[in-house]
């Protein structure tokens, strides 16, 4: 059942619980919500903006835990809703929804798993789902289906498209280069690796993990003697490694700047947490490359030609929302974003005064780079090889249809696919849950 607290003309807290509340519980919740009283109604007849029914917010996770610490049990979910007019449209449809009234079914999710599909036409399915498979890859999958004597399923084709995407496989970097008809002896990626190969210096690990380590200083640690039980603290020295990480989150930041940049920062934090057998993040950076913002009139170079019609967000929207998103994730996780930079660029090739065809260039597909530094123990900088019988532990929160197909869609031109496919491919920020998972998994191996 759902209980409502607050004022239906302004703000309402919807509390989903497994039973009726006692007077004591109602009193505690009234205090928790800033002296907002319980509304004695099973439904509210007004328009509200609030979280989608299928997506429990990080705020709800924290709020429910607070009620548990207050001695209140049986609460499943708490969400905040704001009253709006019927014609109100100024909200983010990716994470919020407009409700025509709140009732006992507002959190009900009536979705059943779809049946497994056997794919008759892989080429058509590729276009329909935005999988970015090349003609060669389609031919390969058709050959696999013929070899195993059955049609491939939707999950098999979808899974292949992600793990074999440009985003994951770096096919261009790893590809064979042929210049003037002559095959080159090395790929671009091998050329990049050659620097560290010839000058390893203080490198401990590079190009074998999702983060690089260099040799760090000797560190004095003040920590409990043992990590699995209460114990006395002791001072102990250990050899450290410094972690370095950078990654791009271009497509998601272009489509939805706040969550795109937030999960860009969250992704590089996650990679440094998982470096080797585990390491700790310290500080982050962010870089944004957009088309001209046209923020100020005294920039004549930005006024030479008109702004184009933006497919998703304006450069100004991106710079504001993306910066807020990256900082928000870092602050909530506990890693400050301490530095960054902005680069704007637009250029008109062969302007109208020339006879050649004009072409406008710019960072319309944003370049968002998230990076950071951290540290770990030198003895834990290299991963062990998994063995048969090892146990696998999965930590995290609720699963949603988010980030679906992101590897493939990121490899395509922005705007190439339908908005539904592109919006599904954008992740949602949840720094609180990432912090909980990090806290639960990190300490035992680091003492």
Which residues fall within 8 angstroms of residue 82, CB to CB, at 6 or more apart?
10, 11, 12, 48, 49, 50
Residue 91 pLDDT level (bands cut at 50, 70, 90)? confident
**pLDDT for position 353:** 59
**pLDDT for position 337:** 93
Q: How far, rounded to the nearest angstrom, does the alpha carbon of residue 169 sit from its chain's CA centroid?
A: 19
Q: What are the residues facing 233 on neighbouring strands?
A: 224
Residues 140-174 have pLDDT tens digits of 999 999 999 999 999 999 999 988 888 788 888 88
**pLDDT for position 382:** 94
**pLDDT for position 445:** 46
**pLDDT for position 412:** 66
Least confident of 34-43, 190-199, 399-408: 399-408
Q: What is the bridge-based pairing of β-strands 182-183 and 203-205?
A: unpaired
**pLDDT for position 415:** 61
Which fold does the domain 205-391+428-446 belong to in CATH? 60s Ribosomal Protein L30; Chain: A; (3.30.1330)
337 vs 285, 324, 369, CA distance in Å?
5, 11, 12
Residue 28 pLDDT level (bands cut at 50, 70, 90)? very high
**pLDDT for position 53:** 86
Average pLDDT, the chain: 88
**pLDDT for position 356:** 67
Least confident of 50-54, 154-158, 200-204: 50-54
The ranges of the chain annotated as CATH 3.30.1330.10 are: 205-391+428-446
Is the pLDDT at 446 greater than 60? The verdict is no
Residues 301-318 have pLDDT tens digits of 888 878 888 878 889 989
Residues 434-444 have pLDDT tens digits of 888 888 876 54
Q: What is the mean pLDDT of residues 193-206?
A: 93
Residues 125-138 have pLDDT tens digits of 998 888 889 899 99
Is the pLDDT at 408 greater than 80? The verdict is no
Higher local confidence (pLDDT), 367 or 297: 367
Angle subtended at Cα 259 by Cα 251 and Cα 286, rounded to the nearest 5 degrees:
75
**pLDDT for position 444:** 45
- Please choose, from the candidates 293, 346, 339, the residue with its C-alpha nearest in 3D space to the C-alpha of residue 320: 293
Residues 338-397 have pLDDT tens digits of 999 999 999 888 766 556 677 888 888 889 999 999 999 999 999 999 999 999 888 877
Is the pLDDT at 447 greater than 50? The verdict is no
86 vs 47, 89, 90, 444, CA distance in Å?
6, 9, 12, 53
**pLDDT for position 47:** 95
Q: What is the mean pLDDT of residues 81-103?
A: 90
Please name the residue ranges forming H helices in 370-416: 406-410
Burial 196-215 (b: 16+ CB within 10 A, else e): eeeeeeebbbbeebebbbbe
Is the pLDDT at 298 greater than 80? The verdict is yes
Query: End-to-end CA distance of the chain, in Å?
Result: 45
Q: Phi and psi dihedrals of 246, rounded to 5?
A: -150, 145
Distance between CA atoms of 129 and 8, rounded to whole angstroms?
41
Distance between CA atoms of 359 and 242, rounded to whole angstroms?
45
Distance between CA atoms of 87 and 75, rounded to whole angstroms?
33
């Amino acid at each position: 059942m759902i209980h409502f607290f607050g004022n239906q003309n302004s703000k309402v807290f919807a509390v989903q619980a497994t039973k009726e509340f006692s007077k004591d519980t109602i009193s505690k919740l009234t205090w928790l919500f800033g002296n907002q009283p319980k509304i004695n109604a099973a439904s509210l007849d007004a328009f509200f903006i609030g979280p989608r029914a299928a997506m429990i917010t990080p705020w709800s996770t924290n709020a429910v835990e607070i009620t548990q610490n207050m001695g209140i049990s049986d609460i499943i979910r708490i969400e905040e809703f704001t009253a709006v007019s019927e014609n109100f449209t100024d909200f983010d449809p990716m994470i919020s929804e407009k409700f025509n009234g709140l009732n006992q079914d507002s959190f009900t999710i009536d979705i059943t798993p779809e049946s497994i599909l056997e794919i008759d036409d892989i080429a058509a399915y590729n276009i329909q789902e935005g999988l970015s498979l090349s003609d060669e890859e389609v031919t390969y999958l058709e050959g696999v289906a013929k070899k195993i004597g059955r049609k491939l399923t939707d999950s098999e084709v979808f899974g292949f498209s992600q793990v074999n995407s440009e985003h994951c496989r770096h096919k261009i970097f790893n590809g064979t280069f042929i210049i003037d008809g002559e095959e080159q002896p090395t790929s671009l990626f091998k050329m990049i690796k050659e620097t560290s190969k010839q000058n390893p210096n203080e490198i401990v690990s590079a190009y074998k993990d999702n983060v690089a380590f260099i040799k760090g200083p000797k560190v004095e640690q003040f920590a409990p003697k043992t990590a699995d039980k209460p114990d006395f603290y002791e001072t102990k020295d250990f050899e450290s490694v410094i972690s370095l990480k950078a990654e791009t989150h271009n497509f998601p930041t272009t489509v939805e700047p706040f969550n795109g940049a937030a999960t860009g920062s969250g992704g590089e934090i996650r990679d440094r947490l998982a470096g080797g057998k585990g390491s700790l993040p310290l500080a982050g950076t962010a870089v944004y490359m957009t088309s001209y913002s046209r923020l100020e009139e005294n920039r004549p170079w930005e006024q030479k030609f008109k702004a184009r019609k933006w497919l998703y967000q304006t450069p100004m929207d991106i710079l504001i929302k993306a910066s807020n998103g990256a900082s928000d994730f870092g602050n909530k996780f506990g890693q400050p974003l301490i530095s960054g930079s902005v680069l704007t660029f637009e250029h008109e090739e062969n302007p109208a005064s020339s006879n050649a065809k004009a072409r406008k260039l710019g960072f319309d597909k944003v370049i968002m780079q998230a990076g950071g530094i951290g540290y770990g123990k030198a003895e834990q900088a290299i991963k062990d090889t998994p063995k048969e019988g090892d146990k696998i532990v999965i930590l995290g929160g609720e699963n949603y249809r988010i980030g679906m197909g992101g590897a493939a869609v990121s490899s395509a031109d922005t705007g190439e696919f339908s908005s539904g496919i592109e919006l599904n491919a954008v992740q949602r920020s949840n720094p609180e849950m990432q912090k909980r998972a990090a806290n639960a998994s990190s300490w035992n191996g680091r003492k």
